Amino acid sequence: MVQPSNKTNVSKKVVVIGLGLIGGSVALAIRNSHYVQMIGIDVHEPSLKMATSLQIIDYGDTSAEENVGDADVIIIATPVSKTLEVLEILAQEPLKPGVIITDVGSTKKTVLSESERLLSEREVKFIGGHPMAGSHKSGVQGSRADLFENAFYVLTTGVGADSADVEELKRWLIGTNARFIELDASLHDLFAGSVSHLPHIVAASLVHQLSRLGQQYPLIGELAAGGFRDITRIASANPVMWRDILLHNKDVLIPMIERWQSDMQKVQGLIEAEDDRGLQSFFSDAKQYRDGLPSKKKGAIPAFYDLFVDVPDRPGVISEVTGILANHNISITNIQIIEAREDIMGVLRLSFRRETDRQRGLDCLEAEQFSTYISE
Ligand SMILES: NC(=O)c1ccc[n+]([C@@H]2O[C@H](COP(=O)([O-])OP(=O)(O)OC[C@H]3O[C@@H](n4cnc5c(N)ncnc54)[C@H](O)[C@@H]3O)[C@@H](O)[C@H]2O)c1
Ligand SMILES: O=C(O)C(=O)C[C@]1(C(=O)O)C=C[C@@H](O)C=C1
């Protein structure tokens, strides 16, 4: 058990079960906008210690049972299979009448149907949730209050809840600065299957292909450059979380994988037939749709703002660039060397969380004679 901090004398109590990246980030966002007692429950005690020292929670415990009885809001932020187990536990426990229970899981259909089965006799309000932003990194140490800023946050009204309760949950979650959208569970799972789950399977399978070839040609991994890294970043995510997502979105994903396979067969046929026009349209149709997707700040794609900087090939140039940004107190979320060959100019891609940070970065680097550009 982790010791409570001194901030316990407040009237509203929020319990977050599963204090990883998402649970911690939601807790921080709530803390930023409400004065509450924040309790964290996690089976992994070091996560509780970390969350307490980062002041994400006031108090941590490894079991939910003794902590949920007087909660006003309960947020389940475990991998989806565990979320169903947590619902079983909550169904057995005395709970405050009218408590709002929500989750953050990446699939909604099985969570909603289990909550209906287990909680329909209870005086509780269940609203499914899914903040559609995150990271390939897991664990409470990566939590940030602004993780969901500008991202879509799906809410699905469940057992015991009505539209007024959904509005109340939105007020609790206002500090996320997310864009709330209500969807029913089936539609959510279809959309998430397409924009998140299938891409994840494809990313992991590309890595498997490379790894097989890598056994024969160890050098190949060294050559994996920008494109491969961009498309496979998400393959570094938590395998337990993704195992659960696939198992809980089976009905959507099986036909999607079949369509994917038939798309691959189609491309294979175009290559075999050396159908240059067909191949060009395969790419130009995709480009046209991709280029027309809503811009990053609207949350369809995680909000990163890239700035490209030409850098001469000389020692210390990267620390020079990052030093200039640091001196102006500008944070970057990522840095990538796109091209660095002997004797030629390389390109750095700097990613910023906010457009204003990118503009400030551009201004101060240009002032130091670096050539920069933005490519949308
Ligand atoms: N990572 C993302 O990008 C992302 C984005 C949106 C939603 N989600 C969803 O959020 C949920 C959490 O994902 P995450 O990325 O925060 O994972 P995470 O691994 O960072 O955190 C999960 C936490 O749950 C804890 N846990 C596991 N079983 C538990 C149990 N029975 N009781 C209490 N705690 C338990 C783990 O110890 C861990 O600390 C998942 O359902 C995932 O589908 C993830
Ligand atoms: O940005 C990432 O690293 C993510 O994988 C985030 C991502 C996604 O697929 O977009 C992953 C799973 C979640 O359910 C929602 C968001």
Residue with tokens 């007024």: 164
Ligand 1 centre to CA of 277 (Å) is: 46
Atom of ligand 2 nearest to the CA of 197: 9
Q: Give a yes or no: residue 1 inside a domain.
A: no
- Confidence (pLDDT) at 5: 44
Instruction: Map the chain to HEC letters.
Output: CECCCCCCCCCCEEEEECCCHHHHHHHHHHHHHCCCEEEEECCCHHHHHHHHHCCCCCEEECCCCCCCCCCCEEEECCCHHHHHHHHHHHHHCCCCCCEEEEECCCCCHHHHHHHHHHHCCCCEEEEEEEECCCCCCCCHHHCCCCCCCCCEEEEEECCCCCHHHHHHHHHHCHHHCCEEEECCHHHHHHHHHHHHHHHHHHHHHHHHHHHHHHHHCCCHHHHCCHHHHHHHHHHHCCHHHHHHHHHHCHHHHHHHHHHHHHHHHHHHHHHHCCCHHHHHHHHHHHHHHHHCCCCHHHCCCCCCEEEEEEECCCCCHHHHHHHHHHHCCCCCCEEEEEECCCCCCEEEEEEECCHHHHHHHHHHHHHCCCEEECCC
Q: What is the CATH number of the domain that holds 93?
A: 3.40.50.720
- Asked whether the predicted pLDDT for residue 163 surpasses 90, the reply is yes
Q: Give a yes or no: residue 2 inside a domain.
A: no
Q: Give a yes or no: residue 267 inside a domain.
A: yes
- Confidence (pLDDT) at 334: 81
Same-domain status, 86 and 27: yes
Most informative mutation of 16, 17, 43, 245 for ligand 1 (most atoms within 8 A of CB): 43
Is the beta carbon of 42 within 6 A of some atom in ligand 1?
A: yes
Same-domain status, 289 and 325: no
Mean of the pLDDT values across residues 291-301? 63
Atom of ligand 1 nearest to the CA of 85: 31
- Asked whether the predicted pLDDT for residue 337 surpasses 80, the reply is no
Q: How many domains does the chain have?
A: 3
- Asked whether the predicted pLDDT for residue 310 surpasses 60, the reply is yes
Atom of ligand 2 nearest to the CA of 245: 14
Q: Give a yes or no: residue 283 inside a domain.
A: yes
Is the beta carbon of 23 within 6 A of some atom in ligand 1?
A: yes
Which ligand is closest to the CA of 302, given by its number? 2
Predicted TM-score of the model (pTM): 0.83
Least confident of 34-43, 262-271, 295-304: 295-304
Q: Give a yes or no: residue 317 inside a domain.
A: yes
Mean of the pLDDT values across residues 27-48? 96
Query: Which residues line ligand 2 at a C-beta cut-off of 6 Å?
Result: 106, 132-136, 196, 234, 237, 302
- Confidence (pLDDT) at 356: 87
- Confidence (pLDDT) at 227: 83
Is the beta carbon of 234 within 6 A of some atom in ligand 1?
A: no
Do the interacting molecules here have an ipTM over 0.90?
A: yes
Tokens of 64: 């939910």
Highest mean pLDDT among 6-20, 180-194, 286-300, 333-347: 180-194
Mean of the pLDDT values across residues 248-274? 98
Q: Give a yes or no: residue 195 inside a domain.
A: yes
Same-domain status, 148 and 290: no
Per residue in 212-224, pLDDT (tens digit) is 999 999 898 888 8
Ligand 2 centre to CA of 355 (Å) is: 21
Atom of ligand 1 nearest to the CA of 244: 43
- Asked whether the predicted pLDDT for residue 298 surpasses 60, the reply is no
Is the beta carbon of 44 within 6 A of some atom in ligand 1?
A: yes
Same-domain status, 167 and 314: no
Same-domain status, 74 and 152: yes
Same-domain status, 168 and 52: yes
Most informative mutation of 2, 22, 240 for ligand 1 (most atoms within 8 A of CB): 22
Q: At what angle do helices 239-248 and 198-216 cross, to 10 degrees?
A: 130
Per residue in 54-93, pLDDT (tens digit) is 999 999 999 999 999 999 999 999 999 999 999 999 999 9
Per residue in 270-292, pLDDT (tens digit) is 999 999 999 999 999 999 999 99
Ligand 1 centre to CA of 105 (Å) is: 8
Q: What is the CATH number of the domain that holds 260?
A: 1.10.3660.10
Is the beta carbon of 21 within 6 A of some atom in ligand 1?
A: yes
Is the beta carbon of 20 within 6 A of some atom in ligand 1?
A: yes
Least confident of 5-14, 148-157, 253-262, 303-312: 5-14
Atom of ligand 1 nearest to the CA of 23: 16
Q: What is the CATH number of the domain that holds 356?
A: 3.30.2130.10
Containing structural domain, residue 314: 304-373
Q: How confident is the model at residue 48 (pLDDT cuts 50, 70, 90)?
A: very high
